[in-house]
Chain A
Amino acid sequence: QVQLRQSGPGLVKPSQTLSLTCAISGDSVSSGSAAWNWIRQSPSRGLEWLGRTYYRSKWYYEYPVSVKGRVTIDPDTSKNQFSLQLNSMIPEDTAVYYCSRETWIRGAYYGVDVWGQGTTVTVSS
């Protein structure tokens, strides 16, 4: 059974950088049939995709335009985990942050089938 365990602070000051980590058990961050995502959710913005990383002979990184330049998602193969860094935090970045796994089955897209427990992040001085 695949599980994702998130860790990181729940309170970040404005202009600082948010750093969250997602530890993977039951799968590999280097899996050729998975992608590792960060998604956040807030009442004002709903569910918002923050980007993903995946390995297909080399590492790929994809980010939405809305946070590009502020966000970095990095895999750590030695610890079988991946991380999120979001810099220049503002109050509007207050949200529940989820790490998650996307899966392809026999080459066909399946969906986001495993989620972390969520981290409530508040941006406040």
Chain B
Amino acid sequence: QSVLTQPPSASGTPGQRVTISCSGSSSNIGTNTVNWYRQFPGTAPQLVIYNINQRPSGVPDRFSGSKSATSASLAISGLQSEDEADYYCASWDDSLKGRVFGTGTKVTVL
């Protein structure tokens, strides 16, 4: 049911850089801003990137976001064990007239 497509998994060793992609269309990412959420097991998602590349207070600068045409990316540099979680992109879809989410990516720290 998810409108935005993400790879199901991504992994890296401590200190490495991991990048997660989010593929959409002209009616969502191509036109509107993108947010990224992190979710630990059994808890609600938390905002880690807003407006494509802005970090909320308290989110380390190891997290960065970008957007190009109808795709967006989240990068985590200097990977740490506490980064192990599920990550979701989100945007607004003008055709569906609603909030849409990505399929989610599980990040594993090896």
> Once the chains bind, are A48 and B101 in contact (CB under 8 Å)?
yes
13 examples of A-B residue contacts, CB within 8 angstroms: A39-B99, A45-B1, A46-B104, A49-B98, A52-B99, A62-B97, A64-B99, A110-B47, A111-B35, A111-B56, A112-B37, A112-B47, A116-B44
A64-B96, A98-B44, A116-B44 known; A47 and B51 CB under 8 Å? Answer: no
> Once the chains bind, are A117 and B104 in contact (CB under 8 Å)?
no
Give B residues with C-beta under 8 Å from A.
Answer: 1-2, 33, 35, 37, 44-47, 50-51, 56, 88, 90, 96-104
Tell me the smallest distance from the CB of B93 to a CB of chain A, in Å.
Answer: 9
> Once the chains bind, are B100 and A49 in contact (CB under 8 Å)?
yes
> Once the chains bind, are B1 and A46 in contact (CB under 8 Å)?
yes
Tell me the smallest distance from the CB of B90 to a CB of chain A, in Å.
Answer: 8
The number of A-B residue pairs with CB atoms under 8 Å apart is 64
Contacts of B99 in A (CB 8 A): 37, 39, 49, 52, 64
Chain A interface extent, by class = 20 to 34
Contacts of B100 in A (CB 8 A): 49
**Proximity bits, A86-125, B CB within 8 Å = 1, else 0:** 0000000000001010000000111111011110000000
Give A residues with C-beta under 8 Å from B.
Answer: 37, 39, 44-49, 51-52, 62-66, 98, 100, 108-113, 115-118
Complex Cα gap A3–B43 (Å)? 15
Tell me the smallest distance from the CB of B63 to a CB of chain A, in Å.
Answer: 14
Contacts of B97 in A (CB 8 A): 62, 64-65
11 A-B pairs besides A46-B102, A111-B35, A112-B47 with CB distance below 8 A are: A46-B2, A46-B101, A47-B45, A47-B88, A62-B98, A64-B97, A65-B98, A109-B33, A109-B50, A111-B50, A112-B35
